Structure 1
Amino acid sequence: MKSFDYAKADSAETAVAEAAHPDTRFIAGGTNLLDLMKLQVETPARLVDISRLPLSDIEETDDGGLRIGALVPNSDLAADPKVRERYEVLSRALLAGASGQLRNKASTGGNLLQRTRCYYFYETASRCNKRVPGSGCDAQEGFNRILAVLGTSDHCIATHPSDMAVAMRALDATIITLGGDGERRRVPIGDFYRLPGDRPDMETVLKPGELITHVELPPAPAGRQIYRKVRDRASYAFALVSVAGIVAIEDGTITSAHLAFGGLGPMPWRDAAVESALIGNAPSDALFGQAADILLRDARGFGSNDFKIPLARRTLIATLRELTA
């Protein structure tokens, strides 16, 4: 690990002021960043410790939603009675995401900003446009079993690793930030992540030095909630395919649907056309197959990950069967 400067922030405003220094990163739990620094995938010149900021509360909002501090540990968020009762899909996603030790350290804000687990991103001897823009992408012709089949580009096929973010995408979360100029922004999670395009190193719309302070959830949508995760092993592996689903039915007809997917794309994936195809129709395997066709209409495998396309189809259909049983 290369040497770096360290600063401890006592307020969000101090943190963003400290982050005005070039090549600075915030650190809270450090469950992803420290690994990247040890491997010299990331080599920040300065770390700003935000772990002591008063951002660890889960509060009710006036409209019946929740306001979650960016430093709420994943374990606390998964166990919170309000989350378990009203946002079961989020609690289940968090519990599927990591070991208890990691959940105790990992923060809500940091979870949203996890970086890909693509092998070539972590191997500094490999070409990776996400790590070194313009260097190439060895993953496309290499071992890409865990990588994306939706939203890829000629420059990158990495997936986003977070389970929590998939559930929050289904729940229409809003991410609240503080910038170095004092600007506070509210960014819908659907607008927060970027597709790789020709700049896969630019993963979110955060500006340099901008700090996530809270995540807000609207009132929980009607319907049954499920998080289904398919992985190589049950003990804390990353998703090959995951589905966060919320479906409501009245009089035998689907009245609302919220579906987000992990393991398939460079961001928590959501396709409004899939949900529209379901709403207003009676549940059936034929309908679920049509929804899967829409989801995967532009899917593209790269060899080792070709199996993800039929796996995603089966996983979506199985999830919808359970949601509408």
Structure 2
Amino acid sequence: KYPSLKGIYYSNPDCYEEELSNRLNNFSTRFSKLKIHPFNVKAKRRIKEKTYEIFYVPTAEIDLLKEQIFYNSKEISKQMTNLPSVANDQLFFNTLIFELQSTNDIEGIRSSKKEIGEAVDNVINKSLKEDKRFEGLVKQYLKLNNGRFNSINKVEEFREIWNELVGDEEKDEMPDGDLFRRAPEEIIDGDKTIHEGDENEKEIINDLQSLLEEMNGHYLPSIEKCFIAHYFYEYIHPFYDGNGRTGRFIACSYLARKLDILTAVSLSSTIAENKDYYYKPFMEMSNVYNHGDATFFITRMM
């Protein structure tokens, strides 16, 4: 068992500082270079006076989960090569439709399999009929199946992805800054504020630049890096709306380079079936007593 630092603080506070020091100074601990401010749920604000660098401890559980992920992916690829190309395409399209419906469902956006299926047909057949809802979403995911991945090298490209992915659906929530939102944004669950995104566009751009360096760097293993980046993007919350869909797409695009395409485009559908299991580690990550320890978050995502 790898207990959370928050759990240790409440169950055995006398050992908290020693355990924190052990983790931060452990020879195997990996640091991300990404820095966050913890969030105080009661005060409904970030604790700006505290800054933590996101880190994780590569536990035996993470190693075993990662090995299983790569094994499963290899098996799926092997099975797919034994299918006729028509069956392969149908399998991908069915998985994609379920994925796109799931990414919408998570955000409370109503969409049917039929509606998304028609958008897929429109894009594939380059139909000149009137545009269908979600065609932008479909186009971006279809690129992954053709081996065309979004390589993000500039901060401006996060906005380009938003435009292409959800811009047509979010005309009422267009960013009011040069690239991103200008005003503060809170994430509310029921009547409770559970997160506060970056305060202004300048802060968003600075954090996205740090995220780019982490995503394109070579100092963290690929799967762990993907999940830390996914957390940090949602932590920044660069837009008024569409952050979840763009964040999951970016993670999906990255996973498609490392794993088989079906695993990559099953991210949102898996999350939709396990929402509480997915959202809890986001809350844990921003807890002041967890000090930026992403070990629990990475384990859950794996």
The TM-score bracket by the shorter chain reads: under 0.3
**Structure with the higher strand share, 1 or 2:** 1
TM-score computed with the length of structure 2 as normaliser? 0.22
